[in-house]
Amino acid sequence: MIIKKAEFIISNTDISKCPTTSLPEYAFIGRSNVGKSSLINMLTDNKKLAKTSGRPGKTQLINHFLVNEDWYLVDLPGYGFAKASKESRFKWTKFIERYLRERENLLNTFVLIDSRLEPQKIDLEFMNWCGHNQIAFSMVFTKIDKLSSSALQKNIAQYKKEMLKTWEALPPVFLTSSESKFGREKVLNYIQEINEFYSKATLNS
């Protein structure tokens, strides 16, 4: 897919103030600092679109970006950034939970996972939560430029094994690097496929 235009539309903490639209929408979620905002910038080829930072907790709001005047990318705050918390449960304010559960045009949620780490309880719990709430998601392993391909293969195999303990089938899995742009075409093509499917389904309904 060619990205002709990507523009910031609105930030808020309230689903009722998100753009009123039936255009397809894709959200990016995962632990703080995993690279959500960077991935949005990589996909849209615009380093300044979403704000990134080396310090966790940069993104605090629901941020809508309109791409090609045709679909939305949504940057969300990270979970697991509660310094004092001993619990591993994903923690966030209610507005994100509401957004994920109630946003009708949200077609897919990309769950970002740091490819350098062994399976993290917090990510597994979040994906289970998505399952319970019937929220369609895909897994995106980020920062693959930061480890060797053998370490990467090992981590991904371990992750898949862990997931298959609770899931009958795995969701789509993507490997990305916002530094090298690895994975850009695959993620964009996947979005395009869903967009096309959605527009046919809407036409027929």
Residues that bind ligand GTP (CB under 6 A): 32-38, 52-54, 56-59, 77-78, 142-143, 145-146, 177-179
Asked if 33 interacts with Mg ion (CB under 5 A), we say no
Shortest spacing between CB 58 and ligand GTP, in angstroms:
4
Q: Any idea which residue has 């096309």 for tokens?
A: 196
We find the least distance from the C-beta atom of residue 204 to ligand GTP, in angstroms, to be 37
**Binding mask 130-169 vs Mg ion (x if CB under 5 A, - otherwise)?**
----------------------------------------
Q: Which of Mg ion, ligand GTP, none is residue 56 near (CB under 5 to 8 Å by kind)?
A: ligand GTP
Locate 34 and state its tokens. 């995993």
Beta bridge partners of 74: 27, 64
Q: How many CB atoms lie within 10 A of CB 63?
A: 24
Residue closer to ligand GTP, measured from CB, 103 or 143: 143
Of 64, 73, 79, nearest to 33 (Cα)?
79
Q: Which of 35, 88, 100 is nearest to 62 (CA)?
A: 100
Q: Could you say whether residue 38 binds Mg ion (CB under 5 A)?
A: no
Least separation in angstroms between residue 36's CB and ligand GTP is 4
Task: Give the residue with the Cβ less far from Mg ion, 83 or 86.
Answer: 83
63 touches 50 (CB < 8 A): yes
- 3-state SS, residue 128: helix
Binding to Mg ion by residue 37, rule CB under 5 A?
A: yes
Q: Which residues of 109-121 are buried (b: 16+ CB within 10 A; e: fewer)?
A: bbbbbbbebebbe
* Of 80 and 163, CB closest to Mg ion: 80
Task: Please give the residue ranges that form the binding site for Mg ion (CB under 5 A).
Answer: 36-37, 58-59
